Amino acid sequence: MIMKKKVYSLLLLLVFLFLGDSPVRAQGWPANYNGVMLQAFYWDSFDATKWTTLEKQADELSKYFSLVWIPQSAKATNSKSMGYDPLYWFSDYNSTFGTKDELVTMIKTFKNKGIGTIADIVVNHRGNVSNWVDFPKETYKGVTYQLLSTDIVSDDDEGETKAWADKNGYSLSSNTEGTSEALGGKCEGWKGMRDLDHASTNVQNNVKAYLKMLLSDEFGYVGFRWDVAKGFPGKYFGIYNNDSKPTYSVGEFWDGDVSKCIKWIDATKYNNIIQSAVFDFPFRYTVRDAINNNDWEKLGNSSVMSNADYRQYAVTFVENHDTEKRSNAAQDPIKKDTLAANAYLLAMPGTPCVFLTHWMAHKQEIKAMIDARKAAGITNTSSYTNMRSSYGLYANLIKVNDKNRLIVTVGSDLSGYTPSSADWTKILEGYHYAYYLNNSLETAWVDKASGTFSNPLSVKLTAVSATSGAQLVYTLDGSNPTASSSKVNSGSTITINETCTLKVGILKNGSVSGVITREYTFLEAKTITVHVDVSKVNWSNVNFWTWGGDGSHAPTNSNWPGDRVTATKTVNDKTWYYKSFTLNSDDDLVNFVFSTNSGSPQTVDINNVTTDKYFEISTTQTDGKYTVNDVTETVTGINEIKSATPYLNNKIYTIDGRVVRDHYDLNTLPHGIYIYKGKKIVK
């Protein structure tokens, strides 16, 4: 009877744990997680990170990323903001990146494609409506939420807020910033906005309601990235996560000390259960130091990822919006070998977070790395063994369930280590990095990832097999390859120059196995030319600072003020400086700032340029920057087209609105007047 009671009690406990409202449901970050995250913004990524722009990429992103982290999405105090100056939590979601409807539609589209969206949670500090201590009053589902002056810590802004409050008849909290278990002392303040007292019941109630709203069907977020995790005690992250139960949670505990990061993870425990992962800054600094010092042995330095007991909670990265090099600030960037940095990141355990600028600049290479990670089955709790550690070379063998799966080598001297060809097959190699898959995987491999191209593609097909000399069979029409399909030897290359679905498999003993799929789309690019007249401001030279679009339009000179332009042409008796740009898709665009060679004076931003333009720099100024007039119509009349590049999916119409059938190439049109991309053209 005693034994039966124990069994019955155990069953009740299990039911409670798995079905009840238990903290077990919030575990900080899943174990054995095989996803990769994308940080879908960089500093001032106002065009690249528009909700509508990101949504259009859902198909492509879903093939490589399980999570996408986006900026704080509510309206902030500044009209143009990255969201780290938060103002509204409940009522206004018209942000720099789009409207609430656009945000919710994007999150829903991502969800339907298998992508979870991570919200940037900024609750360490908050902006005010009209004075130092007044917060917005917001009503959500019939409940009014408002923070009070007494929800501000007494030592906010090093005492300046209290001095103002005392002078103007307001009271602050009697509590200070608090102490951090991980820091072993006072939490860090964030000057410029009001730091909140998370010991306040009112603050906690507001935050809890805010988090639950973001996770609800109204928005559909799946997890949180916590800003300024050093700003208030770690236990509150545990309290908030236990209450709202996100699937994913990661804190920005910005510190290179592994022991402090682990202490912060432990500090988030609720009922002795860890409630949050942490961004692995020690991992990031290890990679930065190895690359910037050209000492690859430094990759052996410890990180959260290197600790087997905590790597489940390590969200690894090599660059983010705070460490990247910005146009007007040095920051703390990785100065070279971006691809090698990402190769190491994407081969190792932990949950890798890829930075948007790296993705945009090296999309095909990073896709191939993620393909390799997936082929090997690497998760956030996989193990690894170091195979070689030296000044010029670092090599790790990654294991999944104690089985050898992938070797990554990085460094300036990759010849220093080559694994046995009997056990390993090289599948990828680039500047200062290489990947090898274990032959036991018995899979075909294609070195070019799926994607969109404008030029013919040379694709290498490889058999990862324990059978020496295994052949490969492939199809280009999306059908599964058979023994009678086209055959090639491992290591052969084929040329692909049209849209197709490539499927490749290993042929052994008349049967096909290890089939993989790649999808290639070919589009025509178009060239636009941007002209600038500087005569009204009497500049003797001009520089183009460019950004935006698909990431390929950054100036060759990455230092402000960008590329000096010397090419000129005369149109309508005026001299125009000009430069041409290639747009690679219907959604591609270029943004500009024009300046003198010294970088000052400069113009205001010119955004979303997608066609040939003639700009005239005006003598009027806005905030100390010259305004720019678009005089394209005046200069060109009705845009006479002498030559043009074919451009996909842009229909041409007659002047009365009828579609010109089968004429997508402007050069093949008969003489006449047409409507093309919303403008008149003459041929």
Q: Could you tell me how far CA 156 lies from the centroid of its own chain?
A: 32
**Strand ranges, E, within 12-162:** 37-39, 67-69, 116-121, 125-126, 138-140, 143-145
By the 8 A CB rule, do 193 and 127 touch?
A: yes
d(CA 243, CA 233) in angstroms, rounded, equals 17
Tokens of 57: 């990429």
d(CA 39, CA 345) in angstroms, rounded, equals 14
By the 8 A CB rule, do 610 and 679 touch?
A: no
- One-letter-per-residue 3-state SS of 490-502: CCCEEEECCCEEE
By the 8 A CB rule, do 231 and 188 touch?
A: yes
d(CA 573, CA 498) in angstroms, rounded, equals 45
SS3 assignment, position 636: helix
By the 8 A CB rule, do 194 and 156 touch?
A: yes
For the chain, which residues score pLDDT lower than 50? Answer: 1-25, 638, 640-649, 661-664
Of 157, 99, 97, 149, give the one whose Cα is nearest residue 128: 149
Tokens of 134: 């007044």
Instruction: List beta partners, residue 531.
Output: 578, 614
d(CA 537, CA 504) in angstroms, rounded, equals 60
The pLDDT score that the predictor gives to residue 330 is 78
